[in-house]
């Protein structure tokens, strides 16, 4: 996501500096400047600096902030564009505010393709910080794709709810695939989703992604195992804590767990969708499984 946003920013005429320990010749060739230390990164940007973090939720965010913030000045803006837990973001905002640095929790949607061509941003934090970052975000977003959600934490909370809805939609499509394949007819799944992409009531990007994915990969070759980083588990805990009834999101989470044992085609379909919009892996991934356990720091 971060590299694709950087490429889009360069194309929009922005001066972009990225941090990389090992360098990115491919990005540098496209006009993205890279450095392996944060002092150099900060020195290359004019205040007020606008910095977008694209790192996994959890300790990695704090590690970057600890290394980065000593090189920043009051009035600079740091945005966490990952899927951090919103209570973690509230705590980080409070700490950076005391140093005079704006911290924005920047929920980012649109997948890898959106990062490259136009994303959707949901941003919480101090209004003054948002006003500084807003021109950058607007340039990198689709029309109407930038929303200031309000208080610190609200951007990541809105994105968390977004991901819960995404789960429900994914599994609804997965159930449809299961019915289409086992309903007693010899149906062309790719053709059906292509048809549904044109004028049907359920048309939309997820249906289009399913049509595109089926052109590139046979469903039966996909492991029936849906991997995830755990954000919607957090949402379920929020719902239980606040006694909010969310039966469809709850069922979608249970279905995700079930996918790891079921062997059903619906699980293959959900995995195909998630790969299409987020580049999520096919099958089990030990790194992501660890992130699922470590991504949230603050308890309810």
Task: Supply the CATH number for residue 99's domain.
Answer: 3.40.50.720
Domain presence at residue 124: yes
Q: How far, in Å, CA of 255 to CA of 173, rounded?
A: 12
Residue 233 included in any domain: yes
Q: Nearest 5°: phi and psi at 273?
A: -60, -50
Please check the confidence at residue 190 and state whether its pLDDT lies above 80. Answer: yes
Higher-confidence residue: 260 or 177?
177
290 an active-site residue?
A: no
pLDDT, tens digit (0-9, with 9 covering 90-100), for 221-268: 999 988 888 899 999 999 999 999 999 999 999 988 888 887 888 889
> Is 108 found in the same domain as 43?
yes
Q: Provide the domain limits for residue 191.
A: 158-294
pLDDT of residue 288: 81
Q: Express each pLDDT in 13-22 by its tens digit.
A: 999 999 988 7
Which residue out of 93, 99, 134, 166 is catalytically annotated? Answer: 166
Tell me the DSSP string of 9-44: HHHTT---EEE-SS--HHHHHTT-EEESSHHHHHHT
**Which of 150, 166, 185 represents a domain boundary (last residue)?**
150
Per residue in 48-102, pLDDT tens? 999 999 999 999 999 999 999 999 999 999 999 999 999 999 999 999 999 999 9
* Catalytic residue, candidates 159, 227, 255, 291: 159
User: What pLDDT score was predicted for residue 292?
Assistant: 79
Report the pLDDT averaged over residues 277-285. Answer: 83
What are the two backbone dihedrals, phi and then psi, of residue 16, each rounded to the nearest 5 degrees? -120, 130
Q: Do the domain assignments include residue 300?
A: no
pLDDT tops 80 at residue 299: no
pTM of the full predicted structure? 0.88
Same domain, 20 and 123: yes
Domain boundary among 150, 176, 202: 150
**Count of CB atoms within 10 A of residue 133's CB?**
24
CA 254 to chain CA centroid, nearest Å: 21
| 208 is known as an active-site residue | no
Domain of 254, CATH number, reads: 1.10.1040.10
Categorize the per-residue pLDDT at 290 as very low, low, confident or very high, splitting at 50, 70 and 90: confident
Q: How far is CA 26 from CA 3, 16, 21, 230, 270, in A?
A: 10, 14, 14, 31, 31
Distances (CA, A) of 121 to 15, 171, 182: 20, 24, 39
Considering the domain architecture, whether residues 125 and 220 belong to the same structural domain is answered as no
């Amino acid at each position: 996501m971060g590299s694709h946003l950087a490429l889009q920013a360069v194309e929009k005429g922005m001066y972009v500096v990225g941090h990389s320990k090992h360098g990115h010749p491919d990005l540098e060739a496209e006009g993205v400047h890279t450095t392996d230390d944060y002092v150099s990164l900060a020195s290359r940007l004019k205040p007020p600096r606008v910095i977008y973090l694209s790192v996994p939720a959890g300790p990695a965010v704090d590690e970057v902030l600890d290394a980065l913030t000593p090189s920043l000045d009051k009035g600079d803006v740091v945005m966490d564009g990952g899927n951090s837990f919103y209570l973690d973001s509230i705590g980080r905002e409070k700490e950076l505010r005391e140093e005079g640095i704006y911290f924005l929790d920047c929920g980012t949607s649109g997948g890898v393709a959106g990062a490259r061509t136009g994303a959707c941003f949901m941003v919480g934090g101090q209004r003054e910080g948002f006003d500084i970052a807003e021109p950058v975000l607007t340039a990198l977003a689709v029309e109407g794709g930038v929303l200031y959600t309000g208080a610190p934490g609200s951007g990541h909370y809105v994105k968390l709810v977004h991901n819960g809805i995404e789960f429900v939609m994914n599994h609804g499509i997965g159930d449809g695939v299961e019915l289409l394949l086992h309903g007693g007819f010899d149906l062309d799944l790719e053709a059906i989703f292509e048809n549904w992409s044109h004028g049907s009531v359920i048309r939309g990007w997820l249906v289009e992604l399913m049509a595109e994915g089926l052109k590139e990969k046979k469903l039966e070759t996909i492991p029936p195992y849906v991997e995830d980083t755990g954000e919607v588990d957090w949402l379920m805990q929020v719902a239980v804590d606040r006694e909010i009834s969310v039966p469809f999101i709850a069922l979608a989470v249970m279905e995700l767990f079930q996918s790891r044992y079921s062997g059903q085609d619906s699980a293959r379909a959900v995995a195909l969708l998630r790969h299409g919009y987020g580049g999520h892996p096919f099958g089990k991934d030990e790194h992501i499984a660890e992130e699922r356990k470590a991504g949230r720091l603050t308890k309810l």
